[in-house]
Amino acid sequence: MPSDLLNTFRISIEDFYRSNKRSMPWRKQNPVPYEVWLSEVILQQTRVAQGIPYFNKILQAFPTIEDLANANEDHLLSLWTGLGYYNRARNLQKGAQQVMRNHKGELPKSSVDLIKITGIGPYTAAAISSICHGEKIGVVDGNVFRVLSRFFGVSTPVNTTAGLKEFQLLANEIVHLSNSSAGYNQGIMEFGALHCTPKKPLCMMCELADICTAYNSGKVDVLPVKKKTAKRTTEEIHFAVVTSENEIAMSKRGTKGIWAGLYEFPRLEKPPVKGFEAVDKIVHKLSHKDLHCHFWEVTENEMNESLTYYSKPEIRNLGMPIIIAKFVEKIGFQ
Ligand code: SF4
């Protein structure tokens, strides 16, 4: 890419950030690496407005990396309930334990060292090192893919190895022209989130419109390109809702799978009675499949396993998948 085009783009992005920067609890004059790490992990699959209350309550419960490393896993997962993708929370804690063990409680400064910590990938490593320590490395997330692909007209699919490499090189090239990696990197993410949005980007009032490849070639709606992935699947899950006085039976998932370590209702292999509807059926959409969750009212005698019951106050401290938490609330147990 011609360096004057890269430079014009960079300056415009940095100007945009200065004028449109949203206030967020982790955006400080001197950003705290632990807070930036926590915020980036929370925001990986979550909108900013939804993520901020989670950031605040998790930081309040675990103000330091040491607190997070020593946290009770059930407590951490209960605070995470509603955010989904619970492996993020488990990996965050594993990462904190590693930082305590190998780095005396301080996150390493360079992206090369950060990436060795459990749960920190190239994006999070680049975000922490550039925002907190000014490392000249580009962040590449969904917003960045979209903005770079549209402005520079890059049509390599973003979900391929070749695409990742090409966008990372381009992002690095631009950030090297900047005196503020933190300003540029946060600027391009903010520009993608607020201005060059997936649907209805604000092209008519965009300072870059005159020189934007996608805008001038009618390709705004087709960029960025994504390679088609495998078809979505469906899984039927039958839950047994067994209550006794003011308690309800819950069981903890094993150590594998998306809900590892979380609490749910005991599972049934099949519907307990033919020809009847479950008390409730909720469809829970994951990135790759739909879970059709059926909730059946069952008595303890109908179960083939011994059950563990929890009272209302105990249930409040259990980490649960959001779909289970919502049902528990619906039947008045939370
Ligand atoms: S002109 Fe439209 S597509 Fe191009 S950078 Fe601006 S908002 Fe994005």
Could you read off the pLDDT of 88-111 as tens digits, one per residue?
A: 899 999 999 999 999 999 999 999
Closest C-alpha to ligand 1, atom 5? 151
Tokens representing 245 are 């006085």
Tokens representing 206 are 């965009």
Closest C-alpha to ligand 1, atom 8? 196
Tell me which of 208, 211, 213 to substitute to probe ligand 1's pocket, judged by most ligand atoms within 8 Å of the beta carbon.
208
Ligand 1 center from residue 206 Cα (angstroms): 6
Pairing of strands 280-285, 267-268: unpaired
Q: In this predicted structure, what is the pLDDT of residue 297?
A: 86
Q: In this predicted structure, what is the pLDDT of residue 277?
A: 66
Cβ neighbour number for residue 136 with a 10 Å cutoff: 17
What gap in Å lies between CA 320 and CA 146, rounded to an integer? 34
* Catalytic-role residue among 40, 135, 190, 264: 40
| DSSP secondary structure of 226-285 | ----PPPEEEEEEEEE-EETTEEE-EE--SSSTTTT-EEPPEESS-SSTT---SEEEEEE
Assign 309 to helix, strand or coil.
strand
Q: What is the pTM of this model?
A: 0.77
Ligand 1 center from residue 196 Cα (angstroms): 5
For the segment 63-92, the average pLDDT, to the nearest whole number, is 92
Using the predicted structure, report yes or no on whether residue 309 has a pLDDT greater than 90.
yes
What number does the ligand 1 atom closest to the CA of 206 have? 6
Determine contact, residues 211/244, Cβ cutoff 8 Å.
Answer: no
252-301 pLDDT per residue, tens: 999 888 888 899 999 998 887 765 666 788 888 887 889 999 998 888 88
Using the predicted structure, report yes or no on whether residue 180 has a pLDDT greater than 90.
yes
Domains and CATH numbers, the chain: 3-216 (1.10.340.30), 233-330 (3.90.79.10)
Within 6 Å (CB) of ligand 1, which residues are found? Answer: 150-151, 195-196, 201-203, 206, 208-209, 212, 214-215, 220
212-259 pLDDT per residue, tens: 999 999 999 999 999 987 788 999 999 999 888 889 999 999 988 888
Ligand 1 center from residue 180 Cα (angstroms): 23
- Residue 310, strand partner residues: 248
Ligand 1 center from residue 200 Cα (angstroms): 10
Cβ neighbour number for residue 153 with a 10 Å cutoff: 15
9-54 pLDDT per residue, tens: 999 999 999 999 999 999 999 999 999 999 999 998 789 999 999 9
Tell me which of 203, 207, 211, 223 to substitute to probe ligand 1's pocket, judged by most ligand atoms within 8 Å of the beta carbon.
203
Ligand 1 center from residue 18 Cα (angstroms): 18
List, in order, residues 6 or more apart from 297 with CB less than 8 Å away: 241, 279
Catalytic residue check, 297: no
Going from the C-alpha of 107 to that of each of 33, 71, 234, the distances in angstroms are 7, 18, 40
Q: In this predicted structure, what is the pLDDT of residue 155?
A: 96
Phi, psi of 285, deg, nearest 5: -95, 120
What gap in Å lies between CA 259 and CA 239, rounded to an integer? 14
